[in-house]
Amino acid sequence: MKGPYNTAIFTDAAAQIGKALILAGALSLVACGGDDDSSAAEPGKDHFLKEKTETIDKAREAEQMIRDAAEKQRKALERQ
């Protein structure tokens, strides 16, 4: 120990405060720095994930068709 105060504790606390301040500053810049063009809110434009969501919807429909066919086949086998 080099004196009456443990300097390691103070440097750790200062580092944590510094990180918190940097994080708070970065978050405030991100929150306040947005562009005002609200093109995402325009109803006529396609969403950038529209194609992906349509593909997922088609896959769900195909999955349901497969399940229905499997159920129909299972019932047919039970009747035999």
Alpha-carbon distances, residue 70 vs 63, 66, 67, 74 (angstroms) = 11, 6, 5, 6
**What pLDDT, in 10s, does the model give residues 3-62?**
555 555 556 777 788 788 888 888 777 777 666 555 555 555 678 889 999 999 999 999
Rg, C-alpha atoms of the chain: 30
For the full predicted model, state whether its pTM sits above 0.75.
Answer: no
What is d(CA 64, CA 70) in angstroms, rounded to the nearest whole number?
10
